[in-house]
Amino acid sequence: MTPLIDVQQVNKAFGGLQVIDNCSIRVEKGSITGMIGPNGAGKSTLFNLMAGALSPDSGRILLEGEDITALSADQRFHKGLLRTFQIAHEFSQMSALENLMMVPPQQAGENLFTAWLKPGLVRREEAEVHRRALEVIDFIGLHHVRNELAGNLSGGQKKLLELGRTMMTNAKIVLLDEIAAGVNRTLLGDLISNIERLNREMGYTFLVIEHDMDMIARLCDPVIVLAQGQVMVEGHIEDIQNNPDVIDAYFGAGAA
C-alpha cells in the first residue's frame, strides 16, 4: 500500500548546518505516528518541510503517491495536509469562532468572481461554515470563550484552537507539533481522546511531535526517533524506550 506521506531522502541546511540529513520517513494511512528526538534533532524543520513552510535542498515529498515537493503551504492544505504550530498561532484580532471560520478550503467566497457573481452560494456556504465552527468549538470545549479575541486566550486554549482548526475541514493527515506542551492535565486528557476519536471516526492520520512520553505511549504506534536530522530507529514505543542508542541520544553517551 502506498504510504500517506512518503518523505524521500530529504536534505535541508541552514547556512553550514545540515539540519535534515538525507532523511526518509513514511507515515501509513490511518496511523497515529509519533516523532520524538532530542532538541535540535530537526523534528520541527521536518514538519516545516512536509507542510511547505520550507522547501528542501533536495529530495521529494509524496502525499498518497503524488509529488507535492513543489507545492506551496496553502496548496498542500487544499490537498488535505494540515499542520499545527509548536508555538500556538492564532489570528489575534479575531474571535475564537472567527479563527475557526477562516479555515475551510474550497470556499466560493475566496474566489473573486464567485464572490460577486454568486452571492447566494457564498452566503449558504458561510452559514454552513458557521454551523461547523460551532460544532467544532463545542467539541474542543471552548464554547464559553468563542467570542473572545483569540489573542486573549490562554496558551492551552490556543493549542485546542489549533486542533480545532484541523477539524474544520476533511484532512487526510494532520501534523501536530507539540500540541500538548503548555496544556494542563485535564485538558490534555480531552485532547488525547479527541485525537483518538478523529483517528477512529473520521479516518484522520496523525503525525505527532511530542516530548511527553506518556502521551506518546498512549497514542502513538509506530514511533520514529529522529536524531541529528536522520531517522535513528522506528518501531513500537516499548522497543524504543529500551533501545540503548535512543537512551544515548537523549542523555548522551555514558548515561545509565
Q: Least separation, in Å, of the C-beta of 75 and other proteins? A: 8
Task: Indicate the DSSP class of residue 231.
Answer: E
93 contributes a contact to other proteins by CB under 8 A: yes
Contact at 8 Å (CB) between 225 and 231?
yes
Cβ nearer to other proteins, comparing 11 with 169: 169
Of 61, 48, 62, whose CA–CA distance to 14 is shortest? Answer: 48
Q: Among 58, 70, 78, 127, which residue sits at the site for other proteins (rule: CB under 8 A)?
A: 78
184 contributes a contact to other proteins by CB under 8 A: no
131 contributes a contact to other proteins by CB under 8 A: no
Q: What are phi and psi of 86, to 5 degrees?
A: -60, -50
94 contributes a contact to other proteins by CB under 8 A: yes
192 contributes a contact to other proteins by CB under 8 A: no
247 contributes a contact to other proteins by CB under 8 A: no
Task: Classify burial at 190, counting beta carbons within 10 Å of its beta carbon; exposed 0-12, middle 13-18, buried 19 or more.
Answer: middle
Q: Among 41, 103, 136, 140, which residue sits at the site for other proteins (rule: CB under 8 A)?
A: 103
**In angstroms, rounded to a whole number, what is the distance separating the alpha carbons of residues 102 and 159?**
16
43 contributes a contact to other proteins by CB under 8 A: no
Of 48, 65, 67, 44, whose CA–CA distance to 56 is shortest? Answer: 48
**How many residues are given for the chain?**
256
**Chain positions contacting other proteins, by CB under 8 A:** 51-53, 72-75, 77-78, 82-83, 85, 89-94, 98, 102-105, 107, 109-110, 112, 115, 122, 126, 165, 169
